Amino acid sequence: MNKNFILIPVAACLAAGCAKAPVPAVTETDLTVNLAGLSATKSTDGSASENRIGNLTLFVFDAGGMLDVSHACTQAEIDAGRATLRIKTGTKVVYAVANMNEGLAARANAVVRQADLDAVPYALSDNGPSSLVMRGVSAAAPVTGSGGTATVSLARGVARVWLGSARNNLPAPYGSVKVRHAFLCNVVGNRDLGGQAAPDPARYVNQEATRGHVRAQVIGTGSVEAECKDLTFRSLGDDLAWNATRTYDQCFFYAFPNALTTPNQGFHTQFLPTATVLMVVVTILGTDYYYPVPLSGGIAANTEYRVDLTLSGLGNTADDPFIRIEKADLSANIRVSPWDTGAGISENI
């Protein structure tokens, strides 16, 4: 009898609908991401490989900077310059990163905060001539039940230095010379996706034109090769007759931004970070001479620096390639322009 008395209230409760209230459905809608930067990265001069997008990942963050969803774009989406994502409503920011290698992708895909994604580190060696890391961030975009749109413009994380031409203006008795090779030295070696990482002096590439900062191992002598060779070194071997000019359509080098403006004033026993330098090596009467061109205005990401040289006297020897060369022996015109548009200004040094 007592057992029946206890069960009656339970049955009554069930009949009265004492179940939990239903959870409201999460509103989802379509977010269209326009990849405007895919066309904007195409430069007026240069190699199509610099504009190649081998892979592209979109990271969508909410108003609090937390990750909602990440999306690896298909080749069709890259070609179309557009991707449509199914996303929860709210204010969103879209972060795009292109041409991540396996290591960089692993670091980027592990984060859940936008601030942490900005802080993801990468090295100059994570780039390649046909796989330059690019990044873009959209403005905050409202996404309602009827959908939303965000636009991302990509920009390269490196600068391009272009040896545009070399002129032999040495005295006539020197005759023909040979432009052997050219390379970048004192190049910043580390960065983060947000572009805020402080350069690490120990990671500078081609420090003072040497490997391992050894005076006797100047790049281009014997078997000593440049670091990040596919980005920082070009073998040329061009004979240049007296009073002649050689132009170069594709002699490009790539470097991380370097805000330092003071050039080297000779070899140091301990490396000191200074302005990035384009070094041109010329053989004159059987001896190699080094012509350093300091990019002393500093270099910025997604910016082109075209260098046109006139050789009027002998350069430095391999014993100390960084000694300052007088303007009477070397003059250089450096044309600085946005990599995308080709418009720019010139500077003579």
Q: What is the pTM of this model?
A: 0.85
pLDDT at 296: 83
Residue ranges of the alpha helices (H) in 57-202? 75-80, 102-108, 114-118
Q: What is the pLDDT of residues 14-66, one digit of tens each?
A: 445 555 655 555 588 999 999 886 554 554 455 667 888 999 999 999 999 99
State how far the Cα of 335 lies from the Cα of 241, in Å rounded to an integer. Answer: 25
Percent of the chain with pLDDT over 90: 61
Q: Is the pLDDT of residue 227 over 50?
A: yes
Rounded average pLDDT over 328-338: 81
- 159-348 topology per CATH: Immunoglobulin-like (2.60.40)
Terminal C-alpha separation, the chain: 107
pLDDT at 66: 97
Predicted confidence band at 212 (pLDDT cuts at 50, 70, 90)?
low
Helix (H) or strand (E) holding 15: helix 2-15
Predicted confidence band at 236 (pLDDT cuts at 50, 70, 90)?
very high
Q: Is the pLDDT of residue 210 over 90?
A: no
Rounded average pLDDT over 294-299: 88
Residue intervals in the chain for CATH 2.60.40.2580: 28-156
Residue 38 has what DSSP assignment?
Answer: H
- 28-156 topology per CATH: Immunoglobulin-like (2.60.40)
Rounded average pLDDT over 215-239: 88
Is 130 in contact with 52 (CB distance < 8 Å)? yes
Antiparallel, parallel or unpaired: β 345-348 and 287-294: unpaired
Rounded average pLDDT over 265-283: 86
The mean pLDDT of the chain is 85
